[in-house]
Structure 1
């Protein structure tokens, strides 16, 4: 029996704000109908999973519904994008004369006005990943029910295949932590509606090692990005 743990990291579909190159972190943008329809059409290209965890923002929930309609879903605000505070929904052209913004471009550890620090963002994602590990560990070693709008996973389930539908910055950070690839944050290319699938043996997962297998997902298809 396959004893690997598999986690797919998927970016939400393309929004109008993305198309306009606006900063959207916690701004709750929605997917336009064209993006949703494209994802629905491409859904057969994607892997199957036993559970989907999404950022609680609409663009991620809509993407998960389009791609993994019949899979139980959990929402977590821990997997939100970086909070851009006063810069939400603004473009580089609108911000380039802002001294605080220019300083932040040179040093991303600086607190964003009204937003989130990079350290806070990383700590939040660390807690989100612990949430994922807890689901896998508890499902693999004892009964557990996962609620989803009144439905439940079977109590004898063993969740070993999880999809996380989240944001570009979240995926880039997780890839720098969970893989052995020597790539910097911005070297990871994450298309809208696409991402990467990581897998571990049971022993690797339990010991907290980096993944032993990594592939782009889906493997075929015409994705935005």
Structure 2
């Protein structure tokens, strides 16, 4: 598969709530000092990626991470979208993760939070209306250019290599995990790295390559080598809490 769009998906940097294992959900928390350093590091790691589009959650911790990345891309507009927010956790927001884990199943699954099916629908709709739509636009322009350059009928895709368009998405741990699982389970993308039980780390980078037919491949998952100064990003497999 020759990708036409490469999606770089970044989780926001650390917050004090992350460090203290406090449920954030859609509370508008801010990056702590470590999180701001992480945002700077991931921005440096992605400095040479020629992004064409940039979306982020409108919550401060994600938007601030995206803004730090885009300091290296000053001409690119950041589009902040509520649809990219973390799962709404109702009355559990602001409380300790351990307290929710200790609660009965009925208490832990209630309290007015966003249901998993509702969030799955929100995540899928966001992908379709933004990334999938952009893939169709790019694929269409490649087809027209291929017809002009190669003397093919208009609408046919050139067989020659094309430079894929890079796009940036900055969101939250559970959102990213749910997005990937939905894309894999639906057959939209293949899983080249294995995400079963995988943790989406703070300021990690996940890469999805998408072809002209809207299908693609998960080629990197939760890579965090840029946070330790290594050249190659190392994926993490530690279990994560979607409430954070």
Q: What TM-score do you get using the length of structure 2 for normalisation?
A: 0.70
1:44 matched to 2:44? The reply is yes
Whether the 8 Å CA contact 2:191–2:217 is kept in 1: the answer is no
Whether the 8 Å CA contact 1:25–1:83 is kept in 2: the answer is yes
Q: Compute the displacement of 1:161 (Å).
A: 1.7
| Map of 1:124 onto structure 2 | 122
Whose radius of gyration is greater, 1 or 2? 2
Distance 1:134 1:34 in 2: 35
| Map of 2:32 onto structure 1 | 32
Q: Tell me the secondary structure at the aligned position of residue 7 of structure 2.
A: strand
Q: What TM-score do you get using the length of structure 1 for normalisation?
A: 0.75
Distance 2:193 2:23 in 1: 23
1:14-93 aligned at under 5 Å gives the runs 14-46=14-46, 47-69=49-71, 70=74, 71-93=76-98
Q: Deviations over 1:122-156 (max 9, x none)?
A: 111111111212234346547xxxxxxxxxxxxxx
Distance 1:183 1:88, change over 3 A: farther
Q: Compute the displacement of 1:5 (Å).
A: 1.1
Number of residue pairs the alignment of both structures matches: 197
* Larger CA deviation: 124-133 vs 32-41: 32-41
Q: Tell me the secondary structure at the aligned position of residue 169 of structure 1.
A: helix
* Larger CA deviation: 169-178 vs 120-129: 169-178
Q: Compute the displacement of 1:64 (Å).
A: 0.2
Q: Compute the displacement of 1:75 (Å).
A: 1.2
Q: Deviations over 1:68-100 (max 9, x none)?
A: 22232111111111110010011133334533x
Distance 1:30 1:138, change over 3 A: same
Q: Deviations over 1:84-124 (max 9, x none)?
A: 0010011133334533xx3476xxxx5x3122111111111
| Map of 2:205 onto structure 1 | 195
Distance 2:7 2:99 in 1: 37
Distance 1:173 1:96, change over 3 A: closer
| Map of 1:135 onto structure 2 | 134
Gaps of 5+ in 1: 143-157
Q: Tell me the secondary structure at the aligned position of residue 190 of structure 2.
A: coil
Distance 1:5 1:74 in 2: 18
Distance 1:189 1:12 in 2: 13
Coordinate RMSD, CA, aligned:
3.0
1:221 matched to 2:223? The reply is no
| Map of 2:242 onto structure 1 | none
Q: Compute the displacement of 1:41 (Å).
A: 4.0
Distance 1:166 1:216 in 2: 14
Q: Compute the displacement of 1:172 (Å).
A: 0.7
* Larger CA deviation: 126-135 vs 114-123: 126-135
